[in-house]
Amino acid sequence: MKNAYLIGHLTVKDAGKWAEYRSQVPATLAPWDAELVFRGSRLEILAGAHPYDDVVVIRFPSQEAINGWHSSAAYQALIPLRQQAADVVLLSYEA
């Protein structure tokens, strides 16, 4: 089975709410055997245009696990907080 990766591009709007959101996400990931690969802030755009300041990459065992996590009641409950805290685009990739 191939790993799947969730990549989030984001720009924080409210640092306090973002910290609150981030503190709650790990508990939603644990049942899906997901692992934070990295979280970082943009240094420079080398080609093209990219409107987001930060990125997060999370490894899941499969695309099905990403879908299960994203649609879980635990994560769905955090989406309103996420929307208040940051502008976020979530993408999934298979590797």
48: left (phi over 0), alpha (psi -120 to 50) or beta: left
**pLDDT tens digits along 40-81:** 999 999 999 999 999 999 999 999 999 999 999 999 999 999
The candidate with the shortest Cα–Cα distance to 77, out of 27, 7, 31, is: 27
Look at residue 18 in the predicted model and tell me its pLDDT: 98
Nearest Cα residue to 36 out of 73, 64, 69, 14: 69
The per-residue pLDDT for 69 is 98
Read off the pLDDT of each residue in 1-14 and give the average, rounded to a whole number: 95
pLDDT at 52: 97
| Domains in the chain, CATH or no CATH each | 4-40+50-94 (3.30.70.100)
